[in-house]
Each structure stands twice: as C-alpha cells, then as structure tokens.
A and B are shown apart, each in its own frame.
Chain A
C-alpha cells in the first residue's frame, strides 16, 4: 500500500484498514494462447542480423512451456560467441509482452547444440532470395544466389557474422555470403 504524499498518519490511532483491500483481486487469466499461436507470434520476430528470416526460421526457439503463470521460452545460441543472441532474447521478450504476455522468462539451452539442419524451408528460401546461399551438407553452396551458376569458389571460410562465409561466382562475378553448414 503506497503512502499518499503529504498525508501524516496519526501513530496513536491503530490502523485497522483491512489489508486485503489493498490487493487487487486476482485477475483471471484469459485463455492461454496455444503453443502454435505463440510460435506464430515468434515467427514475426526477425533475426537482428539477417532480418528476412525469423528466429523461428533460424531454429533457435527450442521450447515453450508454462511454469505456473510464467511462460518459459528456451532459446539456443547459434554460435557460442554470437553477439546477436542477447538481442534475440530481448526481442522475443518484447514481442511476447506486446501480445499481452507479461510474465515471460527466456532461458538459454545449449544442448543439443544448434545445427543448420533446424533452419526452416521457408527460411532457406528467403535466404536464397536475399542473396545468401543456404547451408549445404556438401560444405559449400550449390549455386550462386544471384545467377544460379554452379561455378562458385570460396573467398574465405569466415564472413561478416559468425554464421557466414564468403564466396564468389565465377560467371556473374558477384561475391556472396554463404550460410555455413554446422
């Protein structure tokens, strides 16, 4: 119970205000959104570094469950030192609060380790459209994301973010990013 500013209470008078009155009645929760609904909301949260794909496309949302009134979302990092991980957790929390879920806890889950096998089909297609070759078990891109030529060579095993490598197309001569396969 907050004190009203400027009000002086008389200490001699016993305070018999019913304490329970200060506590708002417990609000019945509306129907809890289904896991599918929550995943659909999260599918609108973009990856901060590759905004054409969502955090769900990336395969890093590993589980959602209710712990009492708290929604627990477990997120797995892509690379252990990826600086985007913290931003992603904040973005997820903000998105769920915007949908009216006030009590959200983000937990980090490292096992089993993230793999590019968890990228969604939608995500892979969007990467390609965006000019990033999607991961391939062969260890390199199948084709140039710009002109579809398979005449491609590696420039470097690393790129502008931990998840990418740099390649070049020998036909259209454009460099492009390749999403590393791990």
Chain B
C-alpha cells in the first residue's frame, strides 16, 4: 500500500503489537498456571522442575511484553501489560489458560504447547525483525529443554501403569480440542507473514502433527480424529471462564495496592 511513511510513523503497529501480546500472554498465562504447582507437586524433583519451567516462561514473558510495550510507545511497561489488563485484552491461546487438573493433565498441556512453541521459536529465529529473532534465539534453548522433559514424561506416564495411562489418555481427550487454535491464521498472522516477521502458523501444523504422532505412539496414547477446535483466545474474542479466575489470583496485589513495588 502506498501510504507515506511519515503519516504512519507515529501510528501504532497494531499487527506487530498484537503478535507480541500473543507471544507474551501465552508464556505469562502458562507460566502462572505452572507456578500454581509450586509446593504441591507429587514429588520434590517434579516440584522443582515445574517451578523452573514457570521461571523460564515468566522470563520470556518479560522479553515479549517488554518489546510489546516498546512497540506500543505509550509508556506502559511489561509489568503494566501483565498486571493491569483485563481478561478481554489477553491474547493467549485457550489451551494455556486451562486449569492444571491432575499432574497428567498439566504435563499433557505442557507437551502440547511446548511442541508448538519449539517449532514457532525455531522459525522466529529467522524473523525479519532482529528484536524478535533475538528473543526467539534465547527462548528456543529453554523451550528445547522443556519439550524434552514434557515429551519424556508423557511417554513415561502414558506407557506406565494402568492408572497413569488412563489419566494421560483422559488428559489428551480433554485437551485435544484446544490444539487447533494454535494453527489458525487470521489477518494479523497474514500481515506478519507477508512482512517476513512471523511464519504462517498453518505452516507449523504438519511438523507438529508428525512430532506429536511419534511421541503419542511411544506413549501408547491415541488421538481422536477430527478437526474441532475451540477458538477465541488468541483473538481475545472469547476466553474460557478460567482465565478471569486466574487473573484474580495473579493480579490481585497490583489491583488491591496499585503501584506496589519492592
């Protein structure tokens, strides 16, 4: 489009800002969910592993939302974006806001997201935007470690006892309808892809399905056929009821004591 650069310079790069919120909100919401296990996991090693995973995700959130705040240029910080937005302003996938359930459901949710996250970050390392490529190069190392552990744990529990197998299959059945949203492309994705900043999410579907099939086969778990996908998280159109409840926990301190710092 032949819009003069001068007239657009001061305008918010809406597509870029939204994309960055999607990245940062995914890691923020999942990071918070995983941190809910702190002090409650079935064994100490798992407690530590979950807390470390949450820590990585929150660290990545600071980078994504920090960049989103810079791009927005309204003087908001990453903390402001995390703690002072309401549920309808969040742009995370519905998958990551789903409650922890039992340990199996938490691990299954983690694996389903980690596998997608890894493929996305690998592609983002080649982003035309250096800032995004830099964050992706940093995060991809941590996420490679996350997926190694979550895939291994899915396999261990799926191909485990009758009890653990049953729980993992139930978790997969429950969470499968949340997978499709990761690969739905909208006009934001289309614009980002055209500008060479972000891959088209639909292009990640085939490698995702292949990796998932391999892990699930080892885990002796089966995925139901069918394309039904809950949607409305990444667009913000309709989050599940769980996100609002989560935010009341996550944001209460900044809401009760605005500007509190230590």
Contacts and interface: CB of A to CB of B under 8 A. Distances in A.
Counting contact residues on chain B (CB < 8 A from A), the size range is 20 to 34
A81 B48 contact: no
Interface stretch (A5-13, A19-27, A65-73, A157-165): A157-165
Contact of A80 (B48, B56, B145): B56
Interface string B57-75: 1111011000000000000
B219 interface: no
A79 B55 contact: yes
Contact of B52 (A112, A115, A162, A182): A162
A166 interface: yes
Contact of B138 (A80, A155, A166): A80
B45 A156 contact: yes
A173 interface: no
B49 interface: yes
B197 to A, nearest CB: 16
Interface in A120-179: 155-160, 162, 166
Contacts of B135: 110
B134 interface: yes
Given A82-B59, A157-B149, 10 more contacts: A79-B56, A80-B56, A81-B59, A81-B62, A111-B138, A155-B45, A156-B46, A157-B145, A162-B55, A162-B56
5 contacts: A80-B56, A110-B138, A111-B138, A156-B48, A158-B49
Contacts of A111: 130, 133-134, 137-138
Interface string B190-208: 0000000000000000000
A81 B55 contact: yes
Interface string B94-113: 00000000000000000000
A158 B62 CA distance: 22
Nearest to B130: A111
Interface of B: 45-46, 48-49, 52-53, 55-60, 62-63, 130, 133-135, 137-139, 141-142, 145, 148-149
Contacts of B142: 79-80, 182
Interface of A: 77, 79-83, 110-115, 155-160, 162, 166, 180, 182
Contacts, number: 66
Contacts of A79: 55-56, 59, 142
A157 B48 CA distance: 10
Please classify the interface of chain A as helix (H, G, I), strand (E, B), loop, or mixed, using the class held by over half of its residues: loop
Given A113-B138, A162-B55, A80 B60 contact: yes
A49 B8 CA distance: 47
A182 B145 contact: yes
B48 A159 contact: yes
A182 B134 contact: no
A115 B141 CA distance: 9
A65 B260 CA distance: 35
Given A157-B145, A157-B149, A81 B134 contact: no
B56 A81 contact: yes
A155 B149 CA distance: 12
